[in-house]
Amino acid sequence: MSPTMLIPGLKAELVAMPGPLPAWHGVTDESDWRAAGVAVAQSGGRLIALWGSGHDDAGSASVCAAYGVAGGLVWLELPLTADDAVYPDLSAAFPCAARMQRAAADLSGVRSAGVGDDRPWLNHGVWPADHYPLRHPERPNAGYEGAPVSDYPFVRVEGDGVHEIPVGPVHAGIIEPGHFRFSIVGEKVLRLEERLGYTHKGTERRFTDLEPLQAHRLAGRVSGDSTVAYAWAYCMALESAAACEIAPRAHALRALLLERERVANHLGDLGALSNDAALAVGLAHFSRLREDWQRLSKELFGHRFMMDCVVPGGIASDVDAQGAERLIAQCTKIEPQVHALRSLYDEHAGLQDRFAGTGRVSAELADRLGLTGLAARASGQARDLRCDQPWPPYDALAVNVAVQTGGDVAARVAVRFDEVFESLRLIRMIADDLPAGKPRTGLRLRSGHAVGAGWVEGWRGEVLVTLELDVAVGQARVRRCHCHDPSWQNWPVLEHAVIGNIVPDFPLINKSFNLSYSGVDL
């Protein structure tokens, strides 16, 4: 597709980035930035991510947006001056931009003009007012002692019989911290507002301290349940920046790992959803299946979660013929057991009473708010990068997209079951016909400034990694690496999904999305 056809009316010159996916990068001006956002929204495109860059040696900064359009991925960059780091607001066209813009303001000091919500997102009051961690990556993070407790201005709901229930940020069990402020009448939820950012770790700044050929290990730790997806997206971005092609066997093995990651997470969540609805037998069986699944991953790939298996140029370890047979055999063994459990779930009146109609997100709301991934497919949005923008080996696998229209917990459960069966089919296909050749190709970085992007359909949804490199003789550094989790789009939708439901159903609704705290607190 011609770059001029990607976004109607776009004036910026787009440069194609090498790699298996159609992706372009361009530098734009303020009027073009605003017009591009409107044009993408009107043409049915989506905002994938928005982020601010740190200031460079000349004192300038920039704000970036990545759009998903019919022809692929378009990464637009708007340069800003240090004295006036303000850019046009995109939240009117894309509501999901609001929190991303707030995070960019906290981290980089770039601010959207005319935005209605300018509350801090990642800064909980422990950074000085003039400190932006990504503005000068070479400086250490600044904190200050004796910081006053920051009173976050939650939106209040007033009226007769209205009460507030604060939940978190510290929770029982091992889940990450996040604050949920419920406004209720009786047990009915009138409003939910989230406050996240408690697990901010300085991940994006940490990338700038690492060698580009080693930073895939950090990417794989952005969100531990998506380590394959993030490592693949980072390596895809690095290989794009280096204009490096990898071998067909490496593509196939990466996809095999990604589908195993998808199955493992769905098995775990299907058991947890059953447990939240008081059917403990579902948790017991799915926990057993997931444990067996992860033990084989440990045996064949060296890690239960397959961490550090995807590396620049391919994968770290190969699978021999016996290992491929074991993968196929495990898929064949597990499939009838999952079918039996699905029948149990579908026929259990108590379970269906809790699932059906609970936490519903209509197709119209999903489209308007930019819902993505499995949650979007449960609300009738038939989008999956493995089909919409298939890269090797998915371009030869004919992936079947799992779509439901109910938009409730029951629909999200059904999508998970469907995706388990489809992933089992894909794993068998890949393992049965692994291409010959090496699993890893040598990668050499090109001198100068380079950019690259990686875009992968993880189990939760679209994972994006954008990468800027500066390479000189004997030295290579990451200027900026931005990792985007689909939870950015989906956390705000959870606030809508719970409205009108009762408080005891929130854990069930929340688990049916199972969003990442760590993935949005970088």
| pLDDT (0 to 100) of residue 57 | 53
At residue 477, the 3 state secondary structure works out as strand
453 domain-assigned: yes
Range of the structural domain that residue 104 is part of: 3-113
Q: How far is CA 253 from CA 314, 392, 446, in A?
A: 8, 11, 26
Q: How far, rounded to the nearest angstrom, does the alpha carbon of residue 492 sit from its chain's CA centroid?
A: 14
8 within some domain: yes
Separation of alpha carbons 155 and 193, rounded Å:
8
Q: How many independent structural domains does the chain possess?
A: 2
Q: Per-residue confidence of the chain (522 residues) as pLDDT tens digits?
A: 556 679 999 999 999 999 999 999 999 999 999 999 999 999 999 999 999 986 555 567 899 999 999 999 999 999 998 677 899 999 999 999 999 999 999 999 999 998 888 899 998 887 777 778 887 655 555 555 656 667 889 999 999 999 999 998 988 777 889 999 999 999 999 999 999 998 888 899 899 999 999 999 999 999 999 999 999 999 999 999 999 999 999 999 999 999 999 999 999 999 999 999 999 999 999 999 999 999 999 999 999 999 999 999 999 989 999 999 999 999 999 999 999 999 999 999 999 999 999 999 999 999 999 999 999 999 999 999 999 999 999 999 999 999 999 999 999 999 999 999 999 999 999 999 999 999 999 999 988 999 999 999 999 999 999 999 999 877 899 999 999 999 999 999 999 999 999 999 999 999 999 999 999 998
Per-residue b or e along 389-407, where b marks 16 or more CB atoms closer than 10 Å to that residue's CB: bbbbbbeebebebbbbebb
Is 423 within the bounds of a domain? no
- Going by the DSSP 8-state scheme, the letter that residue 517 receives in this structure is S
What pLDDT does 124 receive? 86
Domain limit, last residue, from 55, 79, 113: 113
CA distance 492 to 365: 11
Decide if 55 contacts 63 (C-beta within 8 A): no
C-alpha 53 chain-centroid distance: 19
How far apart are alpha carbons 267 and 290 in whole angstroms?
Answer: 6
Q: What is the CA radius of gyration of the chain?
A: 23
Strand partners, 466: 453, 482
- In 3D, which of 192, 508, 493, 500 has the Cα closest to residue 355? 508
Residue 103 forms part of a structural domain: yes
Task: State the alpha helices, DSSP H only, in 277-309.
Answer: 280-301
Q: Tell me, yes or no, whether 249 lies in a domain.
A: no
The answer to whether residue 232 is domain-embedded is yes
50, 78, 113 - which closes a domain? 113
Domain end marker among 113, 133, 156:
113
Region for 213 from its dihedrals, namely left if φ exceeds 0, alpha if ψ lies in -120 to 50, beta otherwise: alpha
Gap between the Cα atoms of 134 and 104, Å rounded: 9
Q: Is 489 a domain residue? A: no
Please report, for the domain that includes residue 53, its CATH number: 3.30.460.80
Peptide bond between residue 312 and the one before it cis (omega within 30 degrees of 0): no
Is 496 within the bounds of a domain? Answer: no
Angle between helices 506-513 and 409-432 in degrees, nearest 10: 30
